[in-house]
Structure formats: structure tokens, C-alpha cells
């Protein structure tokens, strides 16, 4: 039914959606959702510098450069937040723009300098090319997903505590800064492994949209994480299948559009929090359906 390449892409995008949904849950709860966007855009100049230094398009070399650059962007945000009076959202916007602008400039410079070398085409990392995903890419994403899941399971109580009450976490003797750094590293690693498939521009959406959609359905962290992982994986699989069905439609944007559709449905239909659920008409219909039928007798 599906070719080998389609199965590879399906496996990769499924795992990526699950990993992003898991890490993104904590980012959304800690109101650090935009940090994934900062890391993603900050990763682009690292890709370019890694190529220039090693003159290699080996995926591990490029992703290592992207990881270091992404973490540097997050560190600059933290540093500016501590030593300036600017709001955090303004700082994130500044860092994101500067790093991404530098990355675009380096990308074009590399293209002009090595225009005859196909390996110098780094623009694929801007919007992603999931259709060219290799089996080795899937193994990398699987490894990140497994390691992330193990860390979250081992430190679930601590991560839950720092997500909801950072001050109480410190009182209990846990390093809130250390846990925050751990979450940032997990976010950066998830962002970086997603760059080849969904790219710099769209990878942050997988960290934000599925957890935001899951938040409509529950108040419990464990359930929210499971729903978020489900939504992320479903977005990856559905976007990939649509892309495979209709030639010419890019996989990455379709994955994000699918997750957006899930978010809109959650916003409209989720019990107790959905827009339609809270409307008077829907509440009247629910009451009518649950009232006992007395056969018209008064």
C-alpha cells in the first residue's frame, strides 16, 4: 500500500510529533512556548557555521552546530532577561530575529560561494524536506524520543513541581534552575532533530500547537501529556499521508496545518472549555438529552 520511503517518513514524523508533544507540554505550562521558536531560529546560523568549518553536509555535523547555536540563543535570552529591563517576549523577538537574519545571510552566502556543489544547499532546513528522510534520521528521532521519555518518567514529580510552583520546588531542595536547564536542553534537542523534516520555520509549531490543544481537554498533567503526544503523532502521520496522496504538497507545512486543525476542533468542541460547549444552546441540548423522559406527562 505504501512505499518504503513513505513508511520511513511516517515513522519519523510520528516519533517527532510524540517527542515534541511531550517536551512542549512543559514549555506551554511554564509559559516558555516561544523559547522553542527562539531555539529553532537560532539553530540556522549554527548549521551554516558547521558547514563552513567542516565543509561537510553530514547530518550529525550540521545538527551539532545547530544544537550549539540554538542553546546559545536560549542562553542569550536568559542573559538579557537577567541584565536588562526588557520584557521577555521582546527579548525573545530580538534574539530570534538577529539569529535568524544572520542564518539567512550565511545561507545565501554559502549558496553563492558553493553554487556548483549540491551539498551546499542548506535552504532545505528552512522549511524542511521530510520526503527525503532517511532511515538513519528515523533512528536519531527514535533515540531522542526514547531518551526524552525516560528522563520525563524518572523526573516526572520534579518537572511537575517546577512547572506549577517554582518557589515551592526550591523550598523542597530541588534546583529549579537545573530542571529548567534540562527542559531547555530537551527542547533544543527535539527542535534540532526536527529540522530536516519540518525545518526551522515550522518546527516550533509542533512544540506549541499539540500541547495547547491538549490543554483544552484536561487539567491533569499526565493526561495532558498523553493527549499532546497523541495529537503530535496524529499530526505527523496525517500530514505525511496527505503529502503522499497529493504530489507537490510539502510534508512539513501539512503537518503544521493538521495540528492547527486539531487545535481548532479542540477549541470548539472540548468539554467544559470549548467555545461551542460553553454556549447556551449546547448546554440546553445537553440538559435535554440527559433529562429523564416522562412520556409527556406533567
Could you read off the pLDDT of 167-184 as tens digits, one per residue? 767 777 777 778 888 888
Average confidence (pLDDT) over 255-284: 81
Q: Where do the domains of the chain lie?
A: 4-286
Could you read off the pLDDT of 32-53 as tens digits, one per residue? 777 888 888 888 899 889 888 8
Q: How big, in percent rounded to 5, are the helix, strand and coil portions of the chain?
A: 80, 0, 20
Average confidence (pLDDT) over 198-220: 86
What is the pLDDT of the chain when averaged over all its residues?
82
pLDDT score at 216: 92
Residues 6 or more apart in contact with residue 102 via CB below 8 angstroms: 44, 45
Q: What percent of the chain has pLDDT over 70?
A: 88
The total of other beta-carbon atoms located within 10 Å of residue 115's CB is 10
Question: What is the rounded CA–CA span in Å between residue 274 and residue 272?
Answer: 6
**What is the chain's alpha carbon radius of gyration, rounded to the nearest angstrom?**
21
Angle at 146 between CA 232 and CA 9, to 5 degrees: 50
Q: CB-based burial of residue 182 (10 Å sphere; 0-12 exposed, 13-18 middle, 19+ buried)? A: middle
The residue among 249 and 288 whose pLDDT is bigger is 249
Could you read off the pLDDT of 216-264 as tens digits, one per residue? 999 888 899 999 999 999 999 999 899 888 877 788 888 889 999 999 9
Average confidence (pLDDT) over 142-157: 91
Question: What is the rounded CA–CA span in Å between residue 200 and residue 227?
Answer: 25
Average confidence (pLDDT) over 113-120: 61
Contact 55, 204 (CB under 8 A): no
User: Would you say residue 295 has pLDDT above 80?
Assistant: no
Average confidence (pLDDT) over 278-293: 56
Question: What is the rounded CA–CA span in Å between residue 247 and residue 243?
Answer: 7
pLDDT score at 2: 63
Q: Scanning the structure block, which residue is given the C-alpha cell 507540554?
A: 25
Confidence category of residue 265, pLDDT binned at 50, 70, 90: very high
Could you read off the pLDDT of 88-110 as tens digits, one per residue? 888 888 998 999 899 888 888 88
Strand blocks (E) in the chain: none
Question: What is the rounded CA–CA span in Å between residue 13 and residue 129?
Answer: 11
User: Would you say residue 293 has pLDDT above 60?
Assistant: no
The total of other beta-carbon atoms located within 10 Å of residue 147's CB is 13
Q: CB-based burial of residue 291 (10 Å sphere; 0-12 exposed, 13-18 middle, 19+ buried)? A: exposed
User: Per mean pLDDT, which range of 60-69, 121-130, 246-255, 264-273 is the poorest?
Assistant: 121-130
pLDDT score at 173: 75
Match domain 4-286 to its CATH number in 1.10.3470.10, 3.40.50.720, 1.10.3720.10, 3.40.718.10: 1.10.3470.10
Question: What is the rounded CA–CA span in Å between residue 142 and residue 155?
Answer: 20
pLDDT score at 290: 53
Question: What is the rounded CA–CA span in Å between residue 27 and residue 224?
Answer: 13
What is residue 116's three-state secondary structure? Answer: coil
Q: CB-based burial of residue 4 (10 Å sphere; 0-12 exposed, 13-18 middle, 19+ buried)? A: exposed
Question: b/e per residue, 205-231, with b = 16+ CB within 10 A?
Answer: bbbbbbbbbbbbbbeebeebbbbbbbb
User: Would you say residue 131 has pLDDT above 70?
Assistant: yes
Contact 46, 66 (CB under 8 A): yes
pTM given for the model: 0.82
Amino acid at each position: 500500500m505504501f512505499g518504503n520511503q513513505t513508511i520511513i517518513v511516517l515513522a519519523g514524523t510520528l516519533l517527532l510529533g510524540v517527542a515534541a508533544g511531550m517536551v512542549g507540554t512543559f514549555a506551554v505550562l511554564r509559559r516558555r512556548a516561544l523559547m522553542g521558536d527562539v531555539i529553532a531560529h537560532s539553530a540556522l546560523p549554527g548549521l551554516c557555521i558547521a558547514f563552513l568549518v567542516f565543509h561537510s553536509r553530514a547530518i550529525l555535523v550540521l545538527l551539532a552546530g545547530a544544537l550549539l547555536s540554538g542553546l546559545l540563543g536560549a542562553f542569550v535570552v536568559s542573559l538579557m532577561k537577567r541584565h536588562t529591563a526588557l520584557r521577555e517576549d521582546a527579548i525573545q523577538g530580538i534574539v530570534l530575529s538577529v539569529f535568524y537574519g544572520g542564518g539567512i545571510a550565511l545561507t545565501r552566502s554559502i549558496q553563492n560561494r558553493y553554487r556548483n556543489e549540491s551539498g551546499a544547499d542548506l535552504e532545505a532546513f528552512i522549511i524542511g524536506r521530510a520526503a527525503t528522510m532517511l532511515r538513519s534520521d528515523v533512528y536519531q528521532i527514535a533515540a531522542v524520543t526514547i531518551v526524552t521519555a525516560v528522563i520525563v518518567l524518572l523526573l516526572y514529580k520534579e518537572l511537575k513541581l517546577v512547572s506549577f510552583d517554582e518557589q515551592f520546588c526550591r523550598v523542597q531542595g530541588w534546583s529549579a534552575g537545573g530542571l529548567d536547564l534540562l527542559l531547555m536542553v530537551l527542547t533544543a534537542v527535539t527542535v534540532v532533530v526536527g529540522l530536516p523534516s519540518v525545518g526551522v520555520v515550522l518546527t516550533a509549531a509542533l512544540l506549541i500547537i499539540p500541547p495547547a490543544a491538549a490543554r483544552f481537554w484536561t487539567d491533569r498533567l499526565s493526561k495532558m501529556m498523553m493527549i499532546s503526544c497523541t495529537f503530535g503523532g496524529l499530526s505527523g502521520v496525517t500530514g505525511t499521508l496527505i503529502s503522499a496522496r497529493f504530489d507537490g504538497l510539502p510534508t512539513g507545512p501539512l503537518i503544521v496545518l493538521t495540528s492547527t486543525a486539531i487545535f481548532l476542533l479542540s477549541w470548539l468542541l472540548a468539554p467544559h472549555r470549548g467555545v461551542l460547549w460553553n454556549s447556551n444552546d449546547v448546554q440546553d441540548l445537553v440538559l435535554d438529552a440527559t433529562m429523564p423522559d416522562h412520556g409527556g406527562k406533567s
